[in-house]
Amino acid sequence: MTQAAQDILQGQLEIIRAKFIALLDDRLDELEYLREQIEQDVQRQKALQQTQFIAHKIYGSAGTLGMTEIGQLAAKTEETIIHYLSGKDSCPTLQDTKRVIDTFLDNTAEASSSAYWKSVSA
Amino acid sequence: MRILSVDDDPIILELLTEILASIGHTEVTTAESAAQAFELLKADCVPYDCFLLDIQMPEIDGIQLCTAIRSMPQYRRAPILMITAMSDKTYIDKAFTAGATDYVTKPFDMIELGARIRVAERLVDAQRYKTKKLVDVNQHKPTVTTEKPYFLEDKLPIDNVDGVIDYIALENYVSQLSRGSLFGSSVLAFHISDVERIFKGASAFDFECLITDVSEAITQCLMRSQFLVSYAGNGTFVCVYGSGQKHLPDSLESELSEIISSMELCYSDGRPILFKIVAGKPIRLTFRSGKTVIEALLQARSTAENGDVEFLRAPKKASLFNTYIQGRTG
């Protein structure tokens, strides 16, 4: 890849990164709503599946856009939910699963807000 | 190269479009669902050259979409690259069985993505060349029907046999899987002895039928385990089979002979095709990766092809698997 192409790509990636951060805000709202649903026995399974799906999406794009920490937390969340839902002997407890989701939510909210302010001040 | 990218995440689609543009591919169309992709495929008069499909999508997933695209005659040979953030080998196995050529992982490594796209581009170029050659042969149709638009060594594609994939896809599959994912998997090759004689005497149609029928017999035998089969050219088939299965059952050999016998293969003019099938030595893929795993494929092919030579020299020591097959195709 030529230097010029690389510069253009970097510029475009910055634009996509800003869009990702804006979208992350909406996704966080959805994740917080789902987190409440997880507390309810009837809604739990579906809410966990949806949480897993959103975490999967975040994992896919966060890493490519240089937001490695969010990407890794999303991957851990997805993996933990998959194991929990598998119901196997070695699967994590509900408490452990909720703890992983909470860590993901807290860190993502923090990273999202700091990334937002960075992009505004840039 | 006209590319269709399908992913339900608009951010991924934008990323792909920009990354592809940066390596010179600007003819990229995007779809956010399989349904939208179908609409585009119906509407577009100029066919796409290559596809990038996300595996995990709601409603119709990427694997189902891959199967649907492969069933369209104009896309039988088009490179289909699956996009996955899932490390689960089962999804990757399913994707290759559905006809995927290769896969890329999310988050994207731009260098890796560029390399996979270049491989796809080479496939598209090779396919264009083959199509041109085929048209040339058909335009100057010879009176001798045994002339073929390919060589014996060519890794002919086999269509419509479940679990049979192109050789390049098999190479991509094993070379990209991690050491851990290949744990317990083995590779085994089968070779049609005296294939040069059969190739010389057969029409292109007869030879393609033979290769397809033998591959079908192999897949029937391997049905009980997870497997992928590919035709490696020169009358040799390579199979990568299931994790945890240390040995194939002894009955597999006689089973395969019986299935092929029951097919009663023959040339178009009714002469029976006489041949033997030789099985090579199974080679375990555990603790191999990258180049060494490709070497294992070559090694497996070599044991099957050399086994044949040994058999011809010393028939009494031949494997039980060497069986005369008679019959007819077509």
Q: Which residue in A3, A12, A30, A54 has the most chain B C-beta atoms within 10 A of its own C-beta, making it the best mutation to test that interface?
A: A12
For the question of an ipTM over 0.90, the answer is no
In single-letter form, the type of residue at position B40 comes to: L
3-state secondary structure chain A: CCHHHHHHHHHHHHHHHHHHHHHHHHHHHHHHHHHHHHCCHHHHHHHHHHHHHHHHHHHHHHCCCCCHHHHHHHHHHHHHHHHHHHCCCCCCCHHHHHHHHHHHHHHHHHHHHHHHHHHHHC
**Nearest to B54, CA basis, from B91, B93, B25, B88:** B91
Interacting residues of B143 by C-beta distance below 8 A, sequence separation 6+: none
Inter-chain CB proximity B22 and A5 less than 8 Å: yes
Between positions 112 and 171 of B, the ones with CB within 8 A of A are: 114
CB contact (8 A) between residue B11 and residue A23 = yes
* C-alpha to C-alpha distance for B135 and B132, rounded to whole angstroms: 5
Task: Provide DSSP, B118-143.
Answer: HHHHHHHHHHHHHHHHHHHHHHT--S
How far apart are alpha carbons A54 and A43 in whole angstroms? Answer: 17
Burial (0-12, 13-18, 19+ Cβ within 10 Å), B2: middle
Q: Would the CB atoms of B107 and A5 count as touching at under 8 Å?
A: no
Contact B15 A64 (CB under 8 A): yes
How confident is residue A118, by pLDDT bands cut at 50, 70 and 90?
low
Average pLDDT over residues B121-129: 83
Tokens for B21, please give them.
């543009």
The residue among B8, B15, B84 with the most chain A CBs within 10 A of its CB, best to mutate, is B15
User: What is the rounded average pLDDT for all residues in chain A?
Assistant: 88
Q: How far is B40 from chain A (nearest CA, A)?
A: 24
Q: How far is C-alpha A94 from the chain's CA centre?
A: 19
Percent of chain A with pLDDT over 90: 55
**Interchain pair A16, B11: CB under 8 A:** yes
Measuring CA to CA, which residue among B176, B35, B27 is closest to residue B95? B176
pLDDT in tens, B170-215: 988 888 776 566 667 888 899 998 899 999 889 998 999 999 999 9
What average pLDDT does the segment A61-87 reach?
91
Distance separating alpha carbons of residues B264 and B205, to the nearest angstrom? 16
Residue with more model confidence, B289 or B271: B271
Residue B329 has pLDDT above 50, yes or no: no
Token reading at A118: 């960075």
Cβ neighbours of residue A117 closer than 8 Å, sequence gap 6 or more: none
Does the beta-carbon distance from A64 to B18 stay under 8 Å? no
Looking at chain B, the whole-number percentage of residues with pLDDT higher than 90 is 39
Residues 6+ apart with CB under 8 A from B213: B260, B263, B265, B329
Helix locations, B4-109, DSSP H = 10-22, 34-43, 62-70, 89-97
* Cα–Cα distance, B106 to B223 (Å, whole number): 32
Closest CA to B239 of B205, B281, B194, B203: B281
What does the pLDDT read at residue B197? 92
pLDDT for B270: 84
Name which of B15-24, B68-77, B138-147 the model is least confident about.
B138-147
The verdict on A8 touching B (C-beta cutoff 8 Å) is yes
Contact by Cβ (8 Å): B5, B13: yes
Mark residue B329 as left, alpha or beta (left: phi above 0; alpha: psi -120 to 50; beta: remaining).
Answer: beta
Nearest CA-CA distance, residue B188 and chain A, Å? 33
Label residues A82-113 b or e (16+ Cβ within 10 Å = b): bebeeeeeeeeeeeebbebbeebbeebeebbe
Average pLDDT, stretch A69-87?
92
CB contact under 8 A, A59 and B107: yes
- Which DSSP helix (H) or strand (E) runs through B278? strand B277-279
Task: Provide the H-helix boundaries in B44-109.
Answer: 62-70, 89-97
For residues B256 and B289, which has the higher predicted lDDT (pLDDT)? B256
Mean pLDDT of B303-321: 48
| pLDDT computed for residue B311 by the predictor | 35
Q: Rounded to a whole number, what is the largest CA-CA distance in chain B?
A: 64
Residue in B with minimal Cα distance to A8:
B22
CA distance B115 to chain A (A): 12
